């Protein structure tokens, strides 16, 4: 007579055999991931895991912590070993642009790449889904850009990605403010918008509150917010932090404290830019509503 434990063991072995047969029939899952430094905080594996589960795509998605000096070698190895696509985050977006064999028009416009795609001929295409992700999320929270006064704090890779789509939405004023004012000036020159020092001096166009204040420095990764003049926030301002936190970020708390009408962090943008990358890789557009709910749950 079999014991209960032996019966359980048999059932487990049978389940494992069934699972292994199912995986064998589908082959090994396609490999994707996100590269950055640091990367431990990234929610992208969870988001893409939920997309894969809801669409039935056979894939895995991991985090890769890679130093800038190792980017070329390690990312090339990932693709040579069969990897199909990567998301690229701080501080690699500009290096990734030089790494790619070809660029999408929006990556060229941004001068930064957040998505690498292995093409059927083995070449690597660079794209940028940050701008599309931000615009979809602003729409989701009811924030329109058209005719508004908009300021972006920060002039790194993320700002490069969002500037084009923000401009295309026809704001009344668009200003890039950065710690290194020279970098802001250069970027603003390329994008055809205004620029300022991160702590804007008294200038006619930065002396009154902005309708939309977008935080795009990497300070959030250190649990900090930049020191900027509080007058940029007013009672009608929407503050949007590209960084994200649980439940809030220092910038979101700062904006609320100074009276912003609405303050949101970038988890929504992260989900939307991920959906756009997923579409580029798999040709399937995942539903994002349930993922927004799951991440905030």
Per CB under 6 A, 130 contacts ligand NDP: yes
- Structure tokens belonging to residue 101: 């064999």
Per CB under 6 A, 156 contacts ligand NDP: yes
* First and final C-alpha spacing in the chain: 47
Compute the distance between CA of residue 194 and CA of residue 176 in angstroms, rounded to an integer. 6
Per CB under 6 A, 243 contacts ligand NDP: yes
Compute the distance between CA of residue 159 and CA of residue 243 in angstroms, rounded to an integer. 12
Q: Which is nearer to ligand NDP, 68 or 82 (CB)?
A: 68
Residue 31 has phi, psi (to 5 degrees) of: -100, 130
Point out the residue whose Cβ comes nearest to ligand NDP: 156
Residue list 172-201, contact with ligand NDP (CB under 6 A): 178-180, 183, 198
> Do the bridges between strand 238-241 and strand 262-265 make them parallel or antiparallel, or are there none, so unpaired?
parallel
Per CB under 6 A, 232 contacts ligand NDP: no
Active site residue 93: yes
Compute the distance between CA of residue 141 and CA of residue 264 in angstroms, rounded to an integer. 8
Q: Which is nearer to ligand NDP, 138 or 216 (CB)?
A: 216
Per CB under 6 A, 154 contacts ligand NDP: yes
Q: Which is nearer to ligand NDP, 41 or 236 (CB)?
A: 41
Task: Tell me how many residues contact ligand NDP (CB under 6 A).
Answer: 30
Q: Is 30 left (phi over 0), alpha (psi -120 to 50) or beta?
A: beta
Q: Which is nearer to ligand NDP, 163 or 233 (CB)?
A: 163
Which residue in 186, 189, 150 sits closest to 168, CA to CA?
150
Q: Which is nearer to ligand NDP, 28 or 141 (CB)?
A: 141
User: Choosing from 14, 93, 108, 224, which is the catalytic residue?
Assistant: 93
Angle subtended by helix axes 289-296 and 44-55, to nearest 10: 140
Residue 37 has phi, psi (to 5 degrees) of: -160, 105
Which residue in 124, 121, 38, 39 sits closest to 78, CA to CA?
124
Near ligand NDP by CB under 6 A: residue from 60, 169, 221, 280: 221
Residue 127 has phi, psi (to 5 degrees) of: -135, 170
Near ligand NDP by CB under 6 A: residue from 97, 117, 155, 233: 155
Listed ranges 187-195, 201-209, 229-237, 263-271: which one lies at the site for ligand NDP (CB under 6 A): 263-271
Residue 141: CB minimum distance to ligand NDP, A: 13
Compute the distance between CA of residue 293 and CA of residue 297 in angstroms, rounded to an integer. 6
Contact pattern for ligand NDP over residues 34 through 53, marking x by CB under 6 A: --------------------
Near ligand NDP by CB under 6 A: residue from 50, 145, 150, 216: 216
Per CB under 6 A, 250 contacts ligand NDP: no
Q: Is 246 left (phi over 0), alpha (psi -120 to 50) or beta?
A: beta
Residue 142: CB minimum distance to ligand NDP, A: 18
Angle at the Cα of 100 from the Cα atoms of 26 and 28, rounded to 5 degrees = 10
Per CB under 6 A, 269 contacts ligand NDP: yes
Cβ(148)–Cβ(234) under 8 Å? no
Q: Which residues bind ligand NDP (CB under 6 A)?
A: 90-91, 93, 130, 133, 154-159, 178-180, 183, 198, 216-221, 226, 242-244, 266, 269-270, 273
Annotated catalytic residues are 93
């Amino acid at each position: 007579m079999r014991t209960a434990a032996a019966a359980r063991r048999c059932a487990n072995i049978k389940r494992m055999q069934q699972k292994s047969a199912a995986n064998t029939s589908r082959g090994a899952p396609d490999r994707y991931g996100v590269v950055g430094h640091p990367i431990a905080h990234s929610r992208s594996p969870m988001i893409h895991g939920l997309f894969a589960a809801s669409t039935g795509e056979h894939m895995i998605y991991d985090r890769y912590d890679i130093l800038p000096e190792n980017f070329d070698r390690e990312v090339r190895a990932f693709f040579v070993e069969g990897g199909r696509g990567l998301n690229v985050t701080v501080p690699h977006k500009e290096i990734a642009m030089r790494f790619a064999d070809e660029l999408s028009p929006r990556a060229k416009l941004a001068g930064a790449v957040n998505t690498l795609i292995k093409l059927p001929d083995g070449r690597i295409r660079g794209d940028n889904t940050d701008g599309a992700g931000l615009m979809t999320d602003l729409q989701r929270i009811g924030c329109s850009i058209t005719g508004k006064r908009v300021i972006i704090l920060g002039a790194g890779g993320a700002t490069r990605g969002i500037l084009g789509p923000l401009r295309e939405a026809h704001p009344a004023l668009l200003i890039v403010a950065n710690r290194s004012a020279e970098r802001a000036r250069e970027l603003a020159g390329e994008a055809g918008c205004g620029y300022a020092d991160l702590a804007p001096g008294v200038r006619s166009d930065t002396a009154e509150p902005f309708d939309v204040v977008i935080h795009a420095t990497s300070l959030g990764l250190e649990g900090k917010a930049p020191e900027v003049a509080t007058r940029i926030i007013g009672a009608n301002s929407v503050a949007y932090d590209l960084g994200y936190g649980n439940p809030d970020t220092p910038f979101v708390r700062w904006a609320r404290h100074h009276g912003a009408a609405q303050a949101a962090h970038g988890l929504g943008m992260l989900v939307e830019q991920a959906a756009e990358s997923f579409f580029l890789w798999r040709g399937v557009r995942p539903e994002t509503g349930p993922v927004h709910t799951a991440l905030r749950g």
